[in-house]
Structure 1
């Protein structure tokens, strides 16, 4: 039987968590924002090459990033802020097992400083599973983006 010694890992940047040879910290630009942002990242996304959740978190100084698949209890504080989920509409005919979200009170959008936006980071399949398995997420009003222009995202 042959035992191989573990290969040494490449040194990582402590901020962006990428290998030091591909560190992106030089290009991260903090962006001022009023709305609090909470990113819930699926565990399988943590080591993806794009690292979009980590990049978003580094770009938004007052954001939080939590890794997990099931959120039985809300990972956000109960502090009087209006918490809503950024997620596409899921018509009941295509998601009969998913509880319909409560309506988004229009007055919530009047004061962005009282808003907390929850964003799910994962493939569509994984984010949907996170939603299905997390009653706390299902109980949130949803903000769905509509008529969005095509993405210009590029690496």
Structure 2
């Protein structure tokens, strides 16, 4: 039956792309040329988010010459993430939490918070001094788990976004809040504002729109392809967690 097809039922030439990790019908990375930027981008991806059909972490990273995707639940420090010494105050992390940019600084679409959770007075100077940006990739609950598992994040600057439009995901993937965007949309806003290059946001959003268009087309011809594959990936993730627990007990 059509609605029970899985990834194994797709044509044989639909292997995963080595660059973006998408199957051929969803791959849009062939023509991507990375932007050279002053600021680095690090995407910390929850293990359960990797390989999702609608995931955008790797696609977002391909657009920048200084971008990295790290998969995991916790890291000892920012330096461990980067593999080198780093000053957390020169790095900012996008995490919404309970704060809302529109309430703190309604005239800004990118807001830097101070240690009290209020809008930083030196917005422009803080952004100029940043060396890198960190984006958490996962569902609302997964991003929260990453935040609470990594205490070193509190040493970094924290930023919020105040987008003028909701996520382009639409009804394909629900966001907990209107200001909750996909990883590629978040990276597009952050990097374009910090680098002051509108073409960055335009390019990333065009890639995202193409991927969504191809996803919708594939779902019409192969209903359920991502649902069954996702169930298998979650099963493998659960098995890996069980193995880790057994090793810790032994």
TM-score, normalised relative to structure 2: 0.48
> In structure 1, what is the equivalent of residue 244 of structure 2?
none
Counterpart pick for 2:150 among 121, 131, 134: 134
Q: Greater share of helix residues, 1 or 2?
A: 2
Q: State the alpha-carbon separation in 2 of the partners of residues 108 and 134 from structure 1.
A: 23
Counterpart pick for 1:110 among 128, 133, 140: 128
For residues 115 and 105 of structure 1, do their structure 2 counterparts lie closer, same or farther at Cα, with a shift above 3 Å needed? farther
> In structure 1, what is the equivalent of residue 61 of structure 2?
57
Deviations 1:91-143 (A, max 9, x none): 5xxxxxxxx973668333234xx421111001111101110111112322201
- Output the aligned Cα RMSD: 2.9
Alignment of 1:1-16 (within 5 A): 11-16=15-20
| 2:153 corresponds to 1:149 | no
| 2:94 corresponds to 1:78 | no
The answer as to whether partners of 2:97 and 2:144 remain within 8 angstroms in 1 is: no
Counterpart pick for 1:39 among 43, 49, 53: 43
Deviations 1:5-58 (A, max 9, x none): xx7985222111122343222253423432211110111111111221111111
Structure 1: gaps of 5 or more residues: 1-6, 92-99
Q: Tell me how many residue pairs correspond in the alignment.
A: 138
The answer as to whether partners of 1:38 and 1:116 remain within 8 angstroms in 2 is: yes
DSSP-derived class of the 1:129 partner: helix
TM-score, normalised relative to structure 1: 0.73
For residues 67 and 101 of structure 1, do their structure 2 counterparts lie closer, same or farther at Cα, with a shift above 3 Å needed? farther
